[in-house]
Structure formats: structure tokens, C-alpha cells
């Protein structure tokens, strides 16, 4: 792990006033933690890291960070004041967020929820965070009823930016509100808050492809800025050490195989910096866990890119202003342990990713099904077990591949398996730690041979395999060149359980293209929705 001096090297010191005595007001919560024997610095860090929710949340944080090498580090968190919409306007903006992401993929605006920035980021000592929240409440009470409503927002678009700008006169009023908060914060919490230097606005999109501008602009024009809205002044904080890191979320648990690896817990967040990746080999990244504070190597396909603000902590808010009006390749990931009702409708009980290939303008019911293992299925279509669809073997932990259950044993267990089928690539041909080129070639070969052999047997083919199959089995049959391994991993790690896409052959031309699947995206519990356009159509 890098030394603390290295981690803090890029932290620019803020202007600080002469320190005053601490003004801690956590009251009984802090007292309880102290009575339990926790040092005061740790207790305060736990409280601010959990937003001062309650004793239980703080205790859970402390116990999970016992081995955190920075647990006793005095570096404070970084704070910012946002004006956040709610009500009907928030629904309008959320709809824009969702549609723009589906149509054009993620852009930089999606990293943070809709908001108006009122000040620059600033630092506040852990012992004065409660006083900082009091400063916000005092300012909100002072300004109640003084903000002109509704906030006049004007749409602005360019080739690199789309946003809603606050009309100048009202913007000046909001800046006065922010200035009063800065005054209160200095007096109560001894912090220096600088006003936001740019025009006040709600960012809708930026850092997007120029070709996406017409679609984004059309979606932005549909946002009704006169919709009913409660504007909330909200104070957020983040860990300043990870301000310039990429935020990832753990999709699958992982138990370390070596001392330099990081244990992964589903739902946890990982902070990753490009400058720390020198020790990571292909398919792995070096990151730090939000949940434990520990750092190490982790498999790249076990995490998914998350939004920057997903790890931020809320410290206080006030209802600063209010306005109301009356006015067909399918792919599913392995490790899934629960049934999914959509697949029961199709007659399958799936645990992996799925792929469907079909001819254009023909029914969606499938004639042939290929998978890595047996599946329960009603009807006369039998499952063909194809080891050649196995994932990139470099991702397999240990020194040997998994042991396959023979098709005859699967059939004996009342699974609908075709015991006469002979695989295109038998198990004996799979090698441990194969190269990326070998994996891509293998997947392309198997896909081609499956489709060629099925031309006279049916119109629709279902492939149930791994998340990587959505990319590896479909890209080259569309006439596209394989991506490099790094970009491939970035695509695969974004595919959730039950990821689903469809690929059509255009008549008898032999030309294939991705199309909308015959059913809606599939989800399960915290599993996020899969968008094939966003993840599989990027060059």
C-alpha cells in the first residue's frame, strides 16, 4: 500500500482559520460510543462517516474498519452544499436521466444526482460537523419564504454540455443564501466556504458523443421546468482521499486466494485510481473498500462502475424553498440462486446468462437450446450441453477447471438434456488460463458452428452461458472486430445477473445485428437493470 504522504500528495490545502475549541454536539450518541470504550477520534469519525444516524450504524462502521490503516488518521472529510429538487420536477429529471442513459449510454452528468451547486467543496473537522449542520438549519430558517418561486430555469445546449440555468436575478438571490450559509459556517464551525464560481444551473449532460446531441436535446426539451418542486438545501460529504478515484460497486462476493487480494462483499463500493494499477495484472484492478478501508487486488469482472455520489454521506438538509402547482442473444450470469419468473414463463429455470439467435420476423419460441449445464425445462426441446461456451478460463480461481456433470447423469436427474449431442469443443480442449485471443476465437467458433448446424433444425436458438458470452458470442458475427481485453472486461463487468440480449439474422444474408429482446430486462433483488444498447453497442 502506498504511504500516507503519497495518498495525500494531491490534496490541495484549503484556506483555514485559526482553530477554536471543538463544538461537538452529537450529545447522547457520542456519549454512548465513548461509554463503550471507543476513543473520541474514532467515535467522531464513525459518526460523520455514517451521517450521525444512530449508535448502531456507528458501531457497525467501527467494527468493520478495525483493520483500516487510516482509522486514526486526522484528515477531515470534504463537504459541499447542493440545492436538490424533489416532487414533480425531480420525477421529470429522473425520467430524463433514465431515458438519456438508455438511449445514449452513461455520460459524466450521471455520476451525480440532479442538483444546483451552491458552493465549492470545503473541509470540516469531524468534531465540528454537527455545528456545520446547525449553520445550515439557521440559514434555512432565516431565508424561509424569501426565494422567488418557481425557480426560472432556461435550457441551454452545446456540443459538449446540456443544462438548465437559473435566471440571473434569481441566481443572485441563491448566491446570497449561500453567502449567509458561509457566514454561519465560519461562526459556528470555523470553516471557510467559498461560493460557487460558475453560473448556477442543473447539469443534464456533458462529456457525451456529439452524435448523441440530437437525442439528448430532444429529451431535455421534454423536461417541464414549471413542474411542482420542493427545493432542499442538502449538505453532503465525501472521503477526500478518493475524490479523484473511480467508484465501483461489488456485484459478486469474492474470497481472496492470495495475501494481496481484497475480499469482496456484494453491495460494497470500491475506490480505484488509475495511478495505483501498476501492480494489477490483466483482468484485475487495485482498489480500496468503502466498507472496510482495506486495499488490495480484485477481479475486474466482479465489480461494476457506480456513480460518484453513491458513496456520499448526507449530514443535514432544510426545505429552503417550496413551490407547488395544481396542475436475440440472451445472456444470464452464473451464480444466480433464485428462480426468475420471466424465465419460468419461457419454460426455463435459469442460473446463467442467456443468448437467443433468431431469423428476422419469425416467432420468438426457440427450437434449440445450448448451455453449460442442465436446465429444467418443460416441452420437447432438449438442452445441449456445450463446454465451448465456458467463460474466459483466466478468470477461474485455482489451478484446474470445474468438474462437469456428464449429460447422462443430468438426464438421470430428470433434466431435459440431449445425451446424443456431441460438443463442438469438448471439455478436454479447454485449458487453464487461456489467452484472451484464444477465448474470443473459441467463442466465435462455437457460435458460428452452432448457427451453421442449426439452419435446418429451427428458427430460434437459445444460448445460456456467462456474462462474457453476450459480447464474445455476438460481436464478430455482426462483422465487428474483437475489442481489446481491457475494453472487453469493462463491458463484461457491467452486465448483471440475467443480462439479456437478442441477435437477428437479416433474411438469408448471413448478416446479424443486435435488436430489442422479446421481453423486458430481467432483475432480481438488488440486481440492476441490463441495457444491451448501452453495454454491447459501444465500439
pLDDT tens per residue across span 166-189:
999 999 999 999 999 999 999 999
Q: For residue 383, what pLDDT is reported?
A: 86
Helix (H) or strand (E) holding 383: strand 383-385
Residues 6+ apart with CB under 8 A from 509: none
pLDDT confidence bin for 14, thresholds 50/70/90: very low
Q: For residue 22, what pLDDT is reported?
A: 39
Q: How far apart are the first and last CA of the chain?
A: 35
Cell of 370: 445450448
Q: For residue 133, what pLDDT is reported?
A: 93
Higher confidence at residue 336 or residue 527?
Answer: 527
- pLDDT, tens digit, for every residue of 105-162? 999 999 999 999 999 999 999 999 999 999 999 999 999 888 888 899 999 999 999 9
CATH number of residue 416's parent domain = 3.40.50.1240
Closest CA to 226 of 155, 153, 168, 170: 153
> How far is the C-alpha of 340 from the C-alpha of 344, rounded, in Å?
7
pTM score > 0.75 for this model?
Answer: no
Cell of 149: 418561486
CB contact at 8 A, 323 and 302: no
pLDDT confidence bin for 495, thresholds 50/70/90: confident
23 in a structural domain: no
Closest CA to 361 of 192, 512, 507, 525: 507
Residues 6+ apart with CB under 8 A from 56: none
* Residue 483 scores a pLDDT above 60: yes
> How far is the C-alpha of 421 from the C-alpha of 35, rounded, in Å?
69
Higher confidence at residue 337 or residue 155?
Answer: 155
Closest CA to 126 of 191, 67, 48: 48
228 in a structural domain: yes
State whether 237 and 97 are in the same domain. Answer: yes
> How far is the C-alpha of 260 from the C-alpha of 244, rounded, in Å?
23
State whether 503 and 407 are in the same domain. Answer: yes
CA angle 408, 413, 417 (to 5 degrees): 50
22 in a structural domain: no
Q: For residue 140, what pLDDT is reported?
A: 92
> How far is the C-alpha of 169 from the C-alpha of 176, rounded, in Å?
11
State whether 95 and 237 are in the same domain. Answer: yes
pLDDT confidence bin for 539, thresholds 50/70/90: low
Helix %, strand %, coil % of the chain (to 5): 35, 20, 45
- pLDDT, tens digit, for every residue of 271-305? 999 888 988 899 999 999 999 999 999 999 999 99
Nearest 5°: phi and psi at 247?
A: -95, 125
Question: What mean pLDDT is predicted for residues 474-486?
Answer: 88
Helix (H) or strand (E) holding 269: strand 269-272
State whether 127 and 221 are in the same domain. Answer: yes
> How far is the C-alpha of 220 from the C-alpha of 222, rounded, in Å?
5
CB contact at 8 A, 393 and 401: yes
Q: Check whether the bond before 362 is cis (ω within 30° of 0).
A: no
Cell of 220: 431535455
Q: What is the mean pLDDT of the chain?
A: 81
168 in a structural domain: yes
CATH number of residue 136's parent domain = 3.90.1140
* Residue 526 scores a pLDDT above 90: no
State whether 188 and 259 are in the same domain. Answer: no
CB contact at 8 A, 232 and 318: yes
- pLDDT, tens digit, for every residue of 44-75? 999 999 998 788 889 999 999 999 999 999 89
Q: Which domain holds residue 287?
A: 246-311
State whether 175 and 288 are in the same domain. Answer: no
Counting the structural domains of the chain, the total is 4
Amino acid at each position: 500500500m502506498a504511504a500516507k504522504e503519497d495518498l495525500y500528495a494531491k490534496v490541495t490545502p484549503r484556506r483555514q482559520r485559526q482553530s477554536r475549541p471543538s463544538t461537538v454536539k452529537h450529545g447522547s450518541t457520542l456519549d454512548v460510543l465513548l461509554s463503550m470504550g471507543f476513543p473520541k477520534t474514532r467515535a467522531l469519525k464513525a459518526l460523520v462517516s455514517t451521517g450521525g444516524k444512530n449508535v448502531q450504524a456507528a458501531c457497525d462502521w467501527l467494527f468493520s474498519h478495525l483493520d483500516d490503516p487510516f482509522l486514526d488518521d486526522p484528515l477531515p472529510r470534504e463537504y459541499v452544499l447542493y440545492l436538490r429538487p424533489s416532487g414533480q420536477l425531480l420525477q421529470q429529471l429522473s425520467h430524463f436521466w433514465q431515458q438519456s442513459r438508455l438511449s445514449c449510454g452513461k455520460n459524466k452528468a450521471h455520476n451525480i444526482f440532479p442538483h444546483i451547486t451552491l458552493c465549492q467543496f470545503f473541509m470540516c473537522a469531524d468534531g465540528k460537523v454537527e455545528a456545520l449542520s446547525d449553520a445550515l438549519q439557521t440559514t434555512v430558517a432565516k431565508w424561509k419564504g424569501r426565494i422567488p418561486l418557481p425557480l426560472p430555469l432556461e435550457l441551454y445546449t452545446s456540443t459538449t454540455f446540456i443544462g438548465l440555468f437559473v435566471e440571473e436575478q434569481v441566481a443572485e438571490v441563491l448566491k446570497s443564501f449561500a453567502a449567509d450559509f458561509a457566514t454561519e459556517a465560519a461562526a459556528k464551525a470555523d470553516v471557510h466556504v467559498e461560493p460557487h464560481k460558475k453560473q448556477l444551473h442543473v447539469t443534464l449532460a456533458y462529456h457525451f458523443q456529439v452524435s448523441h446531441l440530437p437525442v439528448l436535446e430532444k429529451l431535455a426539451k421534454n423536461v417541464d421546468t414549471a413542474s411542482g418542486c420542493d427545493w432542499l438545501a442538502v449538505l453532503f460529504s465525501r472521503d477526500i482521499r478518493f475524490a479523484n478515484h473511480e467508484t465501483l460497486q461489488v456485484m459478486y462476493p469474492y474470497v481472496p486466494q492470495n495475501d494481496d487480494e481484497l475480499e469482496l462483499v456484494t453491495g460494497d463500493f470500491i475506490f480505484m485510481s488509475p495511478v495505483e494499477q501498476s501492480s494489477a495484472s490483466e483482468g484485475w484492478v487495485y482498489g480500496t473498500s468503502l466498507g472496510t478501508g482495506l486495499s488490495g487486488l480484485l477481479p475486474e469482472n466482479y465489480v461494476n462502475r457506480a456513480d460518484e455520489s453513491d458513496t456520499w454521506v448526507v449530514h443535514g438538509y432544510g426545505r429552503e424553498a417550496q413551490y407547488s402547482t395544481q396542475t436475440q442473444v440472451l445472456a444470464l450470469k452464473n451464480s444466480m440462486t433464485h428462480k426468475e419468473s420471466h424465465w419460468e414463463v419461457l419454460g426455463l429455470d435459469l442460473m446463467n446468462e442467456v443468448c437467443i439467435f433468431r431469423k428476422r420476423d419469425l416467432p420468438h419460441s426457440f427450437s434449440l437450446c445450448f448451455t453449460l449445464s442442465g436446465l429444467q425445462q418443460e416441452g420437447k426441446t432438449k438442452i445441449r450441453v456445450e463446454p465451448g461456451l465456458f467463460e474466459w478460463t483466466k478468470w477461474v480461481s485455482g489451478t484446474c477447471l470445474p468438474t462437469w456433470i456428464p449429460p447422462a447423469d443430468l438426464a438421470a436427474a430428470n433434466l431435459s438434456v440431449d445425451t446424443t449431442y456431441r460438443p463442438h469443443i469438448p471439455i478436454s480442449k479447454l485449458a487453464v488460463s487461456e489467452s484472451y485471443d484464444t477465448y474470443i476465437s473459441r467463442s466465435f467458433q462455437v457460435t458460428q458452428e452452432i448457427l451453421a448446424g442449426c439452419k435446418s433444425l429451427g428458427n430460434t436458438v437459445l444460448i445460456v452461458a456467462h456474462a462474457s458470452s453476450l459480447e464474445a458470442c455476438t460481436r464478430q458475427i455482426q462483422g465487428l472486430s474483437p475489442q481489446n481485453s481491457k475494453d472487453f472486461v469493462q463491458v463484461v463487468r457491467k452486465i448483471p445477473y440475467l443480462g439479456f440480449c437478442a441477435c437477428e439474422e437479416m433474411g438469408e444474408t448471413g448478416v446479424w445485428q443486435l435488436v430489442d429482446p422479446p421481453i423486458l430486462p430481467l432483475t432480481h433483488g438488488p440486481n440492476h437493470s441490463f441495457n444491451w444498447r448501452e453495454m454491447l453497442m459501444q465500439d
